[in-house]
A and B are shown apart, each in its own frame.
Chain A
Amino acid sequence: MAEPAYTVASDTETTGEEKTSSPFPEIAIGIDIGTSQCSIAFWNGSEVELIKNTRNQKVMRSYVTFKDEVPAGGVSTQLSHEHEMLSGAAIFNMKRLIGRVDTDPVVHASKSLPFLVQTVDIGVRPFIAALVNNAWRSTTPEEVLAIFLVELRAMAETQLKRPIRNVVLTIPVSFSRFQLTRIERACAMAGLHVLRLMPEPTAVALLYAQQQQQSVHENLGSGSEKIAVIFNMGAGYCDVTVSATAGGVSQIKALSGSAIGGEDLLQNMMRHLMPNSESLFSSYGMNEIKSMALLRVATQDAIHKLSSETSVQINVDLGNGLKVSKNVTREEFEEVNQKVFEKCGSLITQCLHDAKVEIEDLNDVILVGGCSYIPKVRNLVQSTCKKVELYEGINPLEAAVSGAALEGAVTSGINDPFGNLDLLTIQVTPLGIGIRANGNNFVPIIPRNTTMPARKDLVFTTVRDNQSEALIIVYEGEGEKVEENHLLGYFKITGIPPSPKGVPEINVCMDIDASSVLRVLVGVIMPGNPHPVIPVMEVRLPTVDDGHGWCAEALNRAYGSTLDLETVQPKKM
């Protein structure tokens, strides 16, 4: 071999390779960190069990309170939550903010939260801070999640009487790979090793696969393939999957998702109740924060009541002479949120279309997540899928975490004598992955909904004579222009031999393994020589850090099309 192999491993990898000394495999636990609520579950040897906190709750609020020096999460101290929310000390909804830059509309929409979310709109991370002793204590979504995960971990370790290290976490479908690195970062800060990040509806699909398998064992089911739509809507995200299940194998056929959820319903409703609230509270004084929090709590209560009642009377004194006194009907609530509900419907339609599944072929429709109790959401799912009956037998609030715990047991190599873990999920990519080429176009190399593991390549070429370098800029998303997509990283190919434009074959290959690790390999081939003329570059992505929005713009400004590539149509197979 002429070329030596270089490996520069990151610290994520080395921590991942640690072996436990115990002769028994450590069973990974499942964690569902929701925008508003979280839960933790494990395989107890015969079934999935959710862990309860000292207040006997299986589902806990996801928030952290900063007061004095020691922050505390909602796992152990919940009773004072609402009081602390009024004082600006409680930070929550971090799953909506993690890994987002301050130009992101989702970040802008978070400014109605009763703590500080500031943007300067240049593509850096937003400034997030809690009010502690009348001063702003800055924090990050990663820190808040880590504090929370430490508490969850301690709770699980106390109850299971063993150290916890490996976890399977559920994540929204629409998360970019960069956002996933932030989740892994938060886990690492909490001393947890992420075995798998699982899109939420696919965790539910795994639970469904197990239930189908059990009914076959009990001779209740036919054992034939079942097509299911799973719709999951929580406080921060709405996700859909279509899966084909038989024999314990859950083949994910398509995924779709968006950052819309209960938080949007809440914000729209707050705006409806108090149209000028944003300008009234923009100064972030103590009183303004208190008013924002009071309005939020009252609106949330009203939305909850509207799930069972057709109208609700809201009477709340926000202080500073501000009062809201209004009767709101369910129709009004549905009307102010019409766009959110339309988007939910379109996510289902798109997912069915991508899965190439006809509505008549659907066996089951599964509705989970906190928003599944909202009558409009149920109607919408039923009418879009043309199913009167929704699948019973899955707890909407516990489904995702239970699926994560199952995946944890399966990927830890645990066997169950009754075959309850003879399960497999075959995942697909939630977003397309490609590079910038032909100006500022995004050219996908691995399209979305490609089964993983996957490896695909596309041939590119130079755009100028004697071009010796090419910039490979990797993006993830669905937009036609690069700026509509998430930047994952970039690197240069250097030493391309002098030749007229269009002659070198620059082969860009993308490889995703079953744990969803992305690697990009680039090789250069010249006509008449079957071997790569320069050593093949293999890079693990993402490589960008928090300033990636800023960075993408700077890259465009500095280079424009000077180090650009052009796609060569792939040869007809």
Chain B
Amino acid sequence: MAAAASSSSSLYDVLGIPVSADGNEIKAAYRRLARTCHPDVVATNQKEMSANEFIKIHAAYSTLSDPHKRANYDRALFVVRKRPVSSFSSSSLSSEPMGSMSRFSGNFTTRNWETDQCW
């Protein structure tokens, strides 16, 4: 469970790297995690969980590997860390890539319609 990050952990935690990591370390961490978490490399019964995991890892990677996005993220992260944790939601900085729909796919029963029309 290399990147079993909780929803409030930072993107650095998701990739398991220090805040000071350089570009090459970010890429190396992403590849290392992809080799263990990508749905193509996990057992059949873990594909869905691993897809969620990989989406988080890729989201972290795409923010941190872009110098401009990373700078913005670092500034926001710094601001949040200075505030008392209890009074402020850090959801905008969480590693959860999904907005409201994760509620649908996670906690609520969905009706799944498949079709054979294209046959």
Partner-B contacts on A (CB < 8 A): 1-13, 178, 181, 185, 224-225, 246-249, 251, 410-411, 422, 424-426, 451, 453-455, 457, 459, 489, 491, 505, 507, 509, 511, 513-515, 521, 523, 525, 530-532, 535-540, 542-545, 570-571, 573
Measured between alpha carbons, how far is A2 from B107 in the docked complex, in Å?
12
Interface-facing stretch out of B3-11, B12-20, B32-40, B82-90? B32-40
B45 within 8 A of A: no
CB distance from B109 to the nearest CB of A (A): 5
Q: Known A509-B104, A509-B105, A521-B104; judge A536-B111 contact (CB<8 A).
A: yes
Q: Which of A10, A521, A571 contacts B110 (CB 8 A)?
A: A521
Q: Known A411-B40, A507-B104, A573-B92; judge A11-B116 contact (CB<8 A).
A: yes
Whether the pair B116, A10 counts as a contact (CB closer than 8 A) is yes
CB<8 Å pairs between A and B, sample of 15: A8-B113, A10-B119, A11-B119, A12-B116, A224-B24, A246-B27, A249-B34, A411-B40, A451-B62, A453-B51, A514-B40, A530-B103, A536-B111, A538-B110, A573-B92
Closest residue of chain A to B32, judged by CB?
Answer: A247
Partner-A contacts on B (CB < 8 A): 24, 27-28, 31-32, 34-35, 38-41, 47-48, 51, 54-55, 58, 62, 92, 97-101, 103-105, 108-119
Whether the pair B117, A453 counts as a contact (CB closer than 8 A) is no
CB distance from B22 to the nearest CB of A (A): 13
Q: Which of A454, A507, A532, A540 contacts B113 (CB 8 A)?
A: A540
Chain B neighbourhood of A12, CB < 8 A: 116, 119
Q: Which of A7, A426, A545 contacts B114 (CB 8 A)?
A: A7
Whether the pair A535, B99 counts as a contact (CB closer than 8 A) is no
Chain A neighbourhood of B119, CB < 8 A: 10-12, 185
Measured between alpha carbons, how far is A543 from B119 in the docked complex, in Å?
9
Whether the pair A249, B118 counts as a contact (CB closer than 8 A) is no
Q: Known A424-B35, A537-B111, A538-B110; judge A410-B27 contact (CB<8 A).
A: no
Whether the pair A543, B117 counts as a contact (CB closer than 8 A) is yes
Q: Which of B27, B51, B109, B113 contacts A3 (CB 8 A)?
A: B109
Whether the pair A513, B101 counts as a contact (CB closer than 8 A) is no
Whether the pair B27, A5 counts as a contact (CB closer than 8 A) is no
Whether the pair B109, A531 counts as a contact (CB closer than 8 A) is no
Measured between alpha carbons, how far is A501 from B97 in the docked complex, in Å?
29
CB distance from A224 to the nearest CB of B (A): 8
Chain B neighbourhood of A7, CB < 8 A: 112, 114
Closest residue of chain A to B105, judged by CB?
Answer: A521
Chain B neighbourhood of A178, CB < 8 A: 118
Measured between alpha carbons, how far is A82 from B110 in the docked complex, in Å?
56
CB distance from B83 to the nearest CB of A (A): 18
Chain A neighbourhood of B98, CB < 8 A: 455, 457
Chain A neighbourhood of B99, CB < 8 A: 457, 507, 570-571
Whether the pair B39, A514 counts as a contact (CB closer than 8 A) is yes
CB distance from B9 to the nearest CB of A (A): 17
Q: Which of A509, A531, A540, A542 contacts B101 (CB 8 A)?
A: A509
Chain A neighbourhood of B27, CB < 8 A: 225, 246
Whether the pair B111, A544 counts as a contact (CB closer than 8 A) is no
CB distance from B54 to the nearest CB of A (A): 6
Chain B neighbourhood of A532, CB < 8 A: 104, 108
Closest residue of chain B to A182, judged by CB?
Answer: B118
Chain A neighbourhood of B104, CB < 8 A: 507, 509, 521, 523, 532, 536
Chain A neighbourhood of B39, CB < 8 A: 453, 513-515
Given contact pairs A3-B109, A249-B35, A426-B38, a sample of 13 additional A-B residue pairs in the complex whose CB atoms are under 8 Å apart:
A4-B109, A6-B112, A6-B113, A7-B114, A8-B113, A424-B41, A426-B34, A453-B39, A457-B98, A514-B51, A523-B104, A532-B104, A537-B113
Whether the pair A521, B51 counts as a contact (CB closer than 8 A) is no
Chain A neighbourhood of B110, CB < 8 A: 5, 521, 535-538
Measured between alpha carbons, how far is A505 from B112 in the docked complex, in Å?
21
Whether the pair B114, A514 counts as a contact (CB closer than 8 A) is no
Chain B neighbourhood of A571, CB < 8 A: 99
Chain B neighbourhood of A424, CB < 8 A: 34-35, 38, 40-41
Measured between alpha carbons, how far is A12 from B116 in the docked complex, in Å?
8
Chain B neighbourhood of A536, CB < 8 A: 104, 108, 110-111
Chain B neighbourhood of A11, CB < 8 A: 116, 119
Measured between alpha carbons, how far is A573 from B73 in the docked complex, in Å?
11
Whether the pair A545, B38 counts as a contact (CB closer than 8 A) is no
Closest residue of chain B to A224, judged by CB?
Answer: B24
Q: Known A424-B41, A521-B105, A571-B99; judge A8-B114 contact (CB<8 A).
A: yes
Interface core residue of B24, B39, B40, B47 (most chain A CB under 10 Å)? B40
Whether the pair A457, B114 counts as a contact (CB closer than 8 A) is no
Chain B neighbourhood of A251, CB < 8 A: 31, 34
CB distance from B32 to the nearest CB of A (A): 8
Chain A neighbourhood of B114, CB < 8 A: 7-10, 13, 539-540
Measured between alpha carbons, how far is A178 from B118 in the docked complex, in Å?
9
Closest residue of chain B to A2, judged by CB?
Answer: B109
Whether the pair B101, A523 counts as a contact (CB closer than 8 A) is yes
Measured between alpha carbons, how far is A145 from B31 in the docked complex, in Å?
38
Whether the pair B31, A247 counts as a contact (CB closer than 8 A) is yes
Whether the pair B113, A544 counts as a contact (CB closer than 8 A) is no
Chain B neighbourhood of A185, CB < 8 A: 118-119
